[in-house]
Structure 1
Amino acid sequence: MTDAAETPGGEDYLAILAGVVADAGDVAVELARAQVQELRMLAAAGRLAEAQTAQRNARVQVHDMALRSIAAEVGGVMRVTDRTVQRRIGEARTMIEGFPATVEAWEQGRIVRGRAIAILETGTSLPAELWPEFEQVAITRCERDTPNRVRGELKILAHRMHPRSFAERHEEAAATRCVRIVPGRDGMSDVIATVPTVIAEGIHDRLTQQARAIIDTRDERIAARGGIGVAFGAAVTQRDSDSDSDSEDAAVIVATDNRSADQVRADVFADLLLAGTPTLDDTRDTSAGPLGAIRARVQVLVPAATLTGEDDGPCDLTGRSPIDPATARTLAGGTHIWERLFHDPTTGVTVSTDSYRVPSGMRRFLQARDQHCRFPGCRVAAIRCEVDHTHDHALGGRTELTNLAHLCQRHHSMKQFTAWRVRQLKGGVLEWTSPLGRTYREDAPTPAVAFTPAEPPPPPIAPAEPAPF
């Protein structure tokens, strides 16, 4: 007989789940206090090391030895290496002494550890005299969102507060671009390329599209017996030959190709770099093969002032991190799908359709509105999400802007197959309800472009009446 507690939606199940959630809240409070207490302990250890040498006007080396000794002592109790403790001491002092308001908010439970770390990591890119101003704004923002969602906004905030322009700092950083190899285990190595963010995002996106194209056409290529494949990174190409054995060998390779998306992506990456074009492409000798024709996609939010050159601040590579304004302007000027999007339906934006399929114009509007997955805390970029009917189309939901929102595959599936429910309010606001009845509002992101009404034109001046004779 099935236990009632094992039945989702049953009273016993919900009661047990409510207890687990309540315990999670209590544990979170206790954990935060313990984490802050540990932070203060480490900061005190750092101050002790500094005090040991301050009165003797000691050299830097003497201070470092004192810090190493204390770190080794503390590390023995914490059962971690002294190097780890010494690094954490430095981080703790920066947090305790440089961001006291953040520590207080963390201890009070207003923010969690992940948010505090996000404030520390983004704020330290600024001069120390700007830290208090930065953390006050950052704490307010962190109280309303999750760490992964807020991190990008904090980076943008820090870049805009920095006394040097983002364009100037990006130019210096771009001069450090490089490729390096980190030897790994079992004959493997990591190839690490330090390049501008928008380039890195484009590289990964193109590799992902090509990997999906290869995986999705496996059955077609097996049926055609002219397929190609890669086994363990060794490219195998179809050759023009009268021999049936070559074709059969290629078909066998395709039929046994069980690589994951990550593995295919890595193989395509190697092919592109070693051969110049994807050797997996059936028509690689032509100018428009199915893989070679794939181009990278990135979604960039460019403020109007930056686009016109009035502002030189960073732009947001949606779901990732800031990019320099010059690159953003280049992308905006070179794209073939650049267009203005308006919320007012009288401007011509498609707001509703009788079909299930979402028209391209409406999809682009939703990408600009949503920017990312609309489940609370998720930051998967909209261009990698699915457009979901908030009220299911099969149950009568219409394909219209007020019933559509982007959800990543994970949260789209959760909406369909769990007790989580969602409804869309005015302005694109989503209200999620958990199995326990808790509600979470997911406000629409701040629009990338805002339009304000112009001053009304002055009334026309009536022509003067002709003077009587």
Structure 2
Amino acid sequence: MDQDRTFPGNEAGGDDGGGGADGGCGGAGATAAQRSRSVFDAGLDSFTGSLVLQGVEILDQDQAGVVLTRLDQLGRWVQAQQAKVLHRIEGIFRDEMFFASGKLEPGLAFSLAAEEAATILGVPTGTAAMRMNEAGTLCDTHSATLAKLESGALSYGHVQAVLDQSQNIPAGELPGFEAELLAVAVAGQTGSQFRVKARRLRENKYPETIQKRQRTAFEKRRVVLDPGCDGMSWLSAFLPAEKAQAIFTQLSKAARGEQSAGDPRMVDQLRADILEDLLLDHDDRDTSCGKTPSGGGKTNSNRARGEILVLINAETLFGADEQPAELHGYGPISPETARRMAREAAKWTPVERDPETEEILRVGRRRKIPAGLQRWLRARDGTCRFPGCRSNAVISEIDHTRPWAQGGKTDHDNLEHLCRRHHMFKTEGFWKACQPEAGIIEWTSPGGRTYRTDPHLALVSKPPGIPKPPATAPGSAPAPVGSPVPEGYESDPPPF
């Protein structure tokens, strides 16, 4: 398997430097820059091709190992090139974008650059921001680490460990410490093994950095919900290590106690069930699937009840069929779970759904206009409507696609949910949005790229001749309600 690691652009940067007789700002310098640019543009046209691996089926064990090693090295080389390009994108936004203040704003420029990279790569904004931040560090202060990645000597996991353990090291001592880390990293350590050794090396050499690092890490504490499969989700918390350990220990002790009392559940199941019992109201505890609440009747003053939207047809609701229901923001759930949630719901919101197309026709028949409009848009959007953003619509803001001050109407086909961050991006004009069709949002990035986001559910705004259905007609959906109306939308008319 042959591979050529020279790609267009790597060799095209030598003509527009600052030295030599033609290196100034005059016509000759401009000509050199134009010539360099034309070479690069021509190279982009040939930035295609194929890397073929033939005869895999006849490889012996040694040959397969060699090929796998070379493929891994190629992947590491690609990651190094991505880091260079990500750093260049950040530089473009930092150096060429001025904002309303007339001044450069590095933080905002970085944020916009990361958003642009996220949409190009199709990854979450946080992932792109992390990679762009790492790219900047590699290109600025850790060129030796970047070179090791480019040569294939290090995996990206090793690189991240080097960068992580290099934080808060005095600038004058950083190159020497980086060299020590790299010497350990290339000695055949796996990523996890190297991370442990690198942390010990830093703590032994620079023990005074531990407190500062812990304070910085403490500011990043959070709770994360990650939807899983088969009606389950992961709920994780990033906490101080000693508190996380104490919580886990307490859950384990309680689980062992339940087992000693004869509970047949496994320890992992008990830990999860006890955690749920502690955080939810007693009446919300699920006794299905053989699960029983742990004793004690404990309560928690921090409990809160929010809105949960479940879409379920009337036949399933009353047990006439077993069609899956839809938990808003998650996806399909079992009809048994949906019926239980309907029984426990404090209030219902009827949802009319076309039985043939399954399109949502309207949500709610309340006289209170803002609540109906809010629920309708929430059912349609599901999340923030920015490309790739998954912030739930419940914690997002309702925005006029065409601003109200510019004649935009307060109607369903000129409204969308945006999280606070992306609402600011649109309001400030960095990203531009339009709604060519009701619910279809088209975005233009600062780099001129266009993206389209579709609604979470297909909605029909004003279908003619639709009779008013009874509250429990086919196509109804129960939903506990209780979310406040966003400020400023008290007088908006409903979309139906």
Q: TM-score, normalised by structure 2?
A: 0.36
Query: Which structure carries more relative contact order (alpha carbon 8 Å, separation 6+)?
Result: 2
Of Structure 1 and Structure 2, which has the larger fraction of its residues in helix?
Answer: 1
